[in-house]
Amino acid sequence: MSSVQAQVSEPPRKAGRPRSMRAERAIIDAALELFAESGPEGLCIEKVAAKAGVGKATIYRRWHGKEDLLLDAIAAMKTPLPEPKGESVREDLAAVVDAIGRESVDPRRARQYALLLGEGIAYPRLLERYMETVIEPRRETVRAVLRRGVATGELREETNVEVAVDILTGAVLARPRSATQRPDRSYARRVVDELLTGLASR
């Protein structure tokens, strides 16, 4: 085959270098660690670059500034809750509430929760992303379990689903705990049992 034919048959090369997923992951992790340590005010691109082991230019090629970086970092922490089995409202709620409680001991997530308690006022875009990617999917999981309970007759027809969601998630997230305290599996079940005592079908 001639050199001309070889050149024609070769696929064209894409311009530029492919983005390093490893570097991006390191940047995201570094941003989350710094965010957990000092919040949005204490995070800066220079510190993220140093912790991630990359140059500032690598970060600025992907993000315009720290708030854009944090928006993606928060979205990257989105993790699914346990899939409800659909056999028992009590068991499904206990599993979901327990999972939320275990996540809350992660210092990075604890800082995210602080967005709801005041920091989000100064960073409305961060608060909006946090609500969209973390809070609402979790609330919808709990809502679905409660609605199913109403449909099956396990819960009263007049159950206020939104208030029940607030009670369940609030009881876990607002519970004081030390940095070394391990999640208590029985606590989630106690919270669910207390709520269902009032919501159970009579």
**pLDDT for the residue 13:** 41
Distant-in-sequence, close-in-space partners of 25: CB < 8 Å, separation ≥ 6: none
**pLDDT for the residue 188:** 84
**pLDDT for the residue 19:** 56
Domain match, 106 and 189 both: yes
Domain match, 113 and 194 both: yes
**pLDDT for the residue 176:** 57
Amino acid present at 151? A
Residue 83 included in any domain: no
pLDDT digits (tens, 9 = 90+) for 113-159: 666 566 667 778 888 887 888 788 889 999 999 999 999 999 999 99
Domain match, 34 and 100 both: no
Q: What is the CATH number of the domain that holds 184?
A: 1.10.357.10
Q: How far apart are CA 108 and CA 193, in angstroms?
A: 29
**pLDDT for the residue 46:** 94
Domain match, 71 and 115 both: no
- Region of 53 please: left (phi>0), alpha (psi -120 to 50) or beta: left
End-to-end CA distance of the chain: 84
Distant-in-sequence, close-in-space partners of 96: CB < 8 Å, separation ≥ 6: 81, 82, 84, 138, 141, 142, 145
Looking at the 3D structure of the chain, how many domains does it have?
2
Domain match, 97 and 64 both: no
Domain that holds residue 43: 19-76
Note down pLDDT in tens along the chain; length 202 residues: 444 444 444 444 444 444 588 899 999 999 988 888 887 888 899 999 999 999 999 999 999 888 889 888 888 876 777 888 888 999 999 999 888 887 777 766 766 666 656 666 777 888 888 788 878 888 999 999 999 999 999 999 999 999 999 998 888 777 655 444 555 668 888 889 888 887 666 6
The residue among 100, 111, 103 whose CA lies nearest residue 168 is: 100
Domain match, 148 and 187 both: yes
Distant-in-sequence, close-in-space partners of 199: CB < 8 Å, separation ≥ 6: 149, 155, 156, 159, 164
**pLDDT for the residue 164:** 93
Give the global pTM: 0.70
